[in-house]
């Protein structure tokens, strides 16, 4: 039984997994698969060295089977297949008390602020569990967490059938947002500069353009009879995205801010005034977003699983990070955590 460790300075090691016996209210899970998230890449690149405790076991996009139940855990049994909503709220801060515990002011993100899922056996609070439907592929189930992000983003944007949406940034989250928005009956345009990702979007049935060769503002205005987009999802985290996001919405249109901007960024605030545009910050997910993600994935009608471009053994985790960092021909990479 193995575990992977981030040791700083873009160093990854694979060593023995030391299982943690579940305390009361916890479960131990035998992990099947764990996707590599963009946040994991940030950790690998050293951007979060102040937050993580090295050696850090990363990973929070996972599927697995319950191995051991801690005391007092009801409604679950050994062998149940699950995924984890990796949020541990304090339940005491003003945000928690107001019913927004997913954005708890002292939120512990499991797998960042605590050990993560890229190991054979993972111990987490039972309140984080969501049940997998019978028959769902364990590899596919590792997509539930990022699909839940997308469900949350689309819900925060209140996307309705017939609306015109633009997704700025066609990485894994952007593509999942696009697919979920499309599943609501919206028309979705993805703006992305990586040719591999543009091509993958097209294979997924999404309209995708390179904003360096297509004038997005002209295209959106032409497509919408000069109204502008109903909803813009900024998922790129780029200066160009922050500049473009304000140019596209219609009067009273919405911008959903999904990306993480590390620095204050120039924004054309005039456009918010001029067109009464809303900017809506969206972070992680609530339980209902996980439920929706599981239902959408299990229904099999949306081609989410085509974003899985590679499944690597733990020993190739570093290779996965390097491919992601190089902007290569990858979308979502899964790590097989069940290897002996």
Catalytic residue numbers, as ranges:
39, 42
Contact 241, 174 (CB under 8 A): no
3-state secondary structure of 132: coil
Least distance to a copy of itself from the beta carbon of 104, Å?
8
- 52 lies in the site for a copy of itself, by CB under 8 A: no
**How many Cβ atoms from other residues are within 10 Å of residue 167's Cβ?**
33
Q: Which of residues 108-167 bind a copy of itself (CB under 8 A)?
A: 156
Alpha-carbon span 273 to 282, nearest angstrom: 21
Please state the φ and ψ torsions of residue 131, each to the nearest 5 degrees. Answer: -80, 140
Query: Which residue lies nearer to a copy of itself by CB, 14 or 103?
Result: 103
Of 185-193, 205-213, 280-288, 326-334: span binding a copy of itself (CB under 8 A): 280-288
Residue 226 contacts a copy of itself per CB under 8 A = yes
Among the candidate windows 178-186, 209-217, 243-251, 320-328, which touches a copy of itself by CB under 8 A? Answer: 243-251
Question: x/- contact string, 81-110, with a copy of itself (CB under 8 A)?
Answer: ------------xxx--x-x--x-x-----
Q: Is 259 in the site for a copy of itself (CB under 8 A)?
A: yes
The smaller minimum CB distance to a copy of itself, of residues 6 and 164, is found at 164
When asked if residue 24 is in the footprint of a copy of itself (CB under 8 A), the reply is no
Which DSSP string corresponds to 164-207?
EEEEE--SHHHHHHHHHHHHTT-EEEEE---HHHHHHHHHTT-E
Between 30 and 102, name the residue whose CB sits nearer to a copy of itself. Answer: 102
Q: DSSP code of 36?
A: P
The residue from 45, 217, 260, 295 that contacts a copy of itself (CB under 8 A) is 260
Cβ at position 289, least distance to a copy of itself in Å: 13
DSSP letter assigned to residue 111: T
- Own/partner contacts of 42-49, CB < 8 Å, gap of 24 or more, are 43/6, 43/112, 44/6, 44/10, 44/12, 44/321, 44/325, 45/10, 45/321, 45/325, 46/8, 46/9, 46/10, 47/262, 48/112, 49/8
The Cα–Cα gap between 49 and 63 comes to 26
If the CB atoms of residues 131 and 252 are measured against a copy of itself, the closer one turns out to be 252
**Pick 261 or 312: Cβ nearer a copy of itself:** 261
Closest contact distance (angstroms) between CB of 183 and a copy of itself is: 23
Question: Residue 294 contacts by C-beta under 8 Å, 6 or more apart in sequence?
Answer: 83, 130, 131, 132, 133, 136, 144
Of the candidate residues 250, 320, 323, 333, the single one contacting a copy of itself (CB under 8 A): 250
Q: State yes or no: residue 218 binds a copy of itself (CB under 8 A).
A: no
* Binding positions for a copy of itself, rule: CB under 8 A: 93-95, 98, 100, 103, 105, 156, 224-228, 242-243, 250-252, 257-262, 264-283
């Amino acid at each position: 039984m193995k575990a992977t460790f981030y040791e700083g300075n873009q160093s990854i090691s694979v060593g023995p997994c030391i299982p943690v016996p579940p305390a009361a209210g916890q479960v131990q899970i035998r992990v099947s698969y764990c996707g590599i998230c963009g946040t994991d890449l940030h950790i690998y690149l050293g951007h979060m060295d102040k937050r993580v405790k090295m050696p850090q076991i990363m990973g929070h996009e996972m599927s697995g089977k319950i191995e051991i139940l801690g005391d007092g855990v009801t409604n679950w049994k050994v062998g149940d297949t699950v995924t984890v909503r990796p949020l541990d709220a304090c339940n005491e801060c003003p945000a928690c008390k107001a019913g927004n515990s997913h954005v708890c002011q002292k939120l512990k993100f499991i797998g960042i602020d605590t050990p993560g899922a890229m190991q054979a056996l993972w111990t987490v609070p039972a309140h984080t569990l969501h049940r997998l439907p019978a028959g769902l592929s364990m590899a596919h189930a590792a997509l539930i967490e990022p699909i839940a992000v997308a469900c949350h983003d689309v819900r925060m944007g209140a996307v309705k059938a017939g609306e015109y949406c633009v997704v700025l940034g066609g990485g894994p989250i952007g593509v999942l947002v696009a697919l979920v928005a499309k599943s609501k009956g919206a028309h979705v345009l993805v703006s992305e500069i990586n040719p591999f990702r543009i091509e993958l979007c097209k294979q997924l049935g999404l309209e995708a353009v390179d904003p360096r060769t297509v004038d997005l503002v002209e295209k959106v205005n032409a497509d919408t009879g000069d109204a502008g987009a109903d909803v813009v999802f900024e998922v790129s985290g780029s200066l160009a995205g922050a500049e473009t996001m304000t140019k596209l919405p219609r009067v009273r249109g919405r911008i959903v801010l999904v990306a993480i901007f590390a620095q204050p960024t120039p924004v054309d605030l005039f456009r918010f005034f001029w067109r009464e545009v809303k900017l809506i910050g969206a972070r992680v997910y609530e339980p209902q977003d996980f439920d929706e993600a599981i239902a959408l994935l299990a229904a099999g009608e949306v081609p989410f699983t085509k974003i899985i471009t590679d499944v690597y053994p733990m020993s190739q985790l570093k290779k996965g990070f390097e491919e992601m960092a190089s902007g290569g021909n990858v979308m979502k990479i899964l790590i097989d955590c069940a290897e002996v």
